[in-house]
Amino acid sequence: MGALAANADSIVHWTRHSAEQGAHLVAFPEMALTGYPVEDLALRASFVEASRTALRELAARLDAEGLGELPVVVGYLDRAEKAVPRFGRPAGAPENAAAVLHRGQVVLRFAKHHLPNYGVFDEFRYFVPGDTQPVLRVRGVDVALAICEDLWQDGGRVPATRSARAGLLLSVNASPYERNKDDQRLELVRKRAQEAGCTLAYLAMMGGQDELVFDGDTIVVDRDGEVIARAPQFSEGCVLVDLDLPAAAPDAPQGVVDDGLRIDRVILSEAPEQDDEPVVTGGYADRLEDEEEIYDALVVGLRAYVRKNGFRSVLVGLSGGIDSALVAAVACDAIGAQNVYGISMPSKYSSEHSRDDAAELARRTGLNFRTVSIEPMFDAYMGALELTGLAEENLQSRLRGTLLMAVSNQEGHIVLAPGNKSELAVGYSTLYGDSVGAYGPIKDVYKTDVFRLAEYRNRAARERDETPPIPETSITKPPSAELRPGQVDTDSLPDYPVLDAILARYVDGDQGLEEIVAAGFDRELVARTLRMVDTAEYKRRQYPPGTKISAKGFGKDRRLPITNGWREQA
């Protein structure tokens, strides 16, 4: 995000690669030049102008480096030249835009027409919509252009593409990953190709930005919706596809078409040129299984956060439990075990098997490991304060949080918070204790999925004849915070399969008490769970960011007031 020079370098690199493979047209994802999402940077005039300048400089650089004859589609941040300032319109009239670069010039600009305003998207806050239907004629073929949401909403550029009689619809996208979204995406692309009446290329971004992960999954389908090519998930690369497309109509339409969009056609070349056969790298990449897909998303999200923010190493408090074990495994896969530091922080309530499991995890993964007991610190506090019950339990968690942050300050690692979505939902965490950290890799993963992901990671290791990273006892033993003798999570919470089923309906599905009870759940249990969720909002606001893998993660997806007198009634 905001790394204009580095992003331009990447665009030049992949343009050169594409040219060497024989490409006639190359495209990059939505806002590839600026990064996505830009959020309030869109409202900063200096950043908008920096983006516009970087685009012009990129066009000149491509030409200077011998790549000017290859048309390049690049997403960037622009502003509307003729927008009239008014209340309700973003200051400066920014646009989520894309441009075509050719022979050192910006030959075509256009802005996203449909602006998403749901979930993590606030594009009405940031952008003004485009009002054109851009069409680029390349080697005698009309290519209609669109940006992400232009496909996800009905109307607009899809029917306008049919009206313009284009031979190809190219959509550049930054579509964040969610579970099962690849299936939705494929069906959407098939449907829109049939509606547009032409081949459709859906170009997707790959990488991570704060809480968002982009899984790639570029798809090309023909006019009937049959898949021509599909790129791998979570893998950066170039997909080259050789398409047999119809020549542009001699009487191609002009003027205003569907939804008031005005056709803006730029002709670069009228006739096909004879040249060498391209090296076609397209094909159909196998889809990942659900657990592998989610696990890869967690790895990509954490790696991007650590590297892009200039950190080299992470610190994890290792309890011997399943959550910290999974976080450590993800971290080792993301940045290498040599850059992961684990600390076991036992108290007088910590079981011997938990201490052993923490050490065994370190042995299996090769991460850096040490043990620092919190008992002397705990005894010092208890000698000065008379604490009992929950206050005594939370003191232990806060001592661990303080210890982790002290080591972080001293040695320069960032702390990873190990909380999962089930715990965050019901407030089963300690502020300034187990919730401390710079990033929460599994904050959007329900506890039942934590177990599935741990089992998947071990299974994948065995299939590769590697040592499974997570000790089996960490997976099989009853979850416990071990803050008092004999404590287990189910002392305070329902069994996780039941809890997660209720949470999925309430948090992700926005169902109310009566709907959940009607689905077969005990009324008293549902009412208690919903009360825990509602009263824990203040804790979630103070939790660090973490990788989003669901359709409704805590944070931008789900925004509820902390001070709230309305409750679901039993």
- Catalytic residues, by residue number, are 30, 112, 148
Inter-CA distances, 467 with 329, 360, 364, 366, 461, Å:
12, 11, 7, 11, 6
> If we measure between CA atoms, which residue out of 267, 479, 243, 469 comes closest to residue 354?
479
Inter-CA distances, 405 with 10, 316, 434, Å:
36, 11, 11
* 424 in Cβ contact with 554 (< 8 Å): yes
> If we measure between CA atoms, which residue out of 317, 337, 325, 344 comes closest to residue 414?
317
User: Which tokens is 96 given?
Assistant: 């989520």
* 313 in Cβ contact with 340 (< 8 Å): yes
Question: Residue 388 CB: number of other CB atoms within 10 A?
Answer: 8
Single-letter amino acid, residue 248: A
* 204 in Cβ contact with 173 (< 8 Å): yes
User: Which tokens is 406 given?
Assistant: 């002290």
Single-letter amino acid, residue 30: E
Cα–Cα dist 249/262, whole Å: 18
Cα–Cα dist 397/403, whole Å: 10
Cα–Cα dist 202/212, whole Å: 19
Cα–Cα dist 460/70, whole Å: 42
Which residue in the block uniquely carries the two structure tokens 């919470």? 493
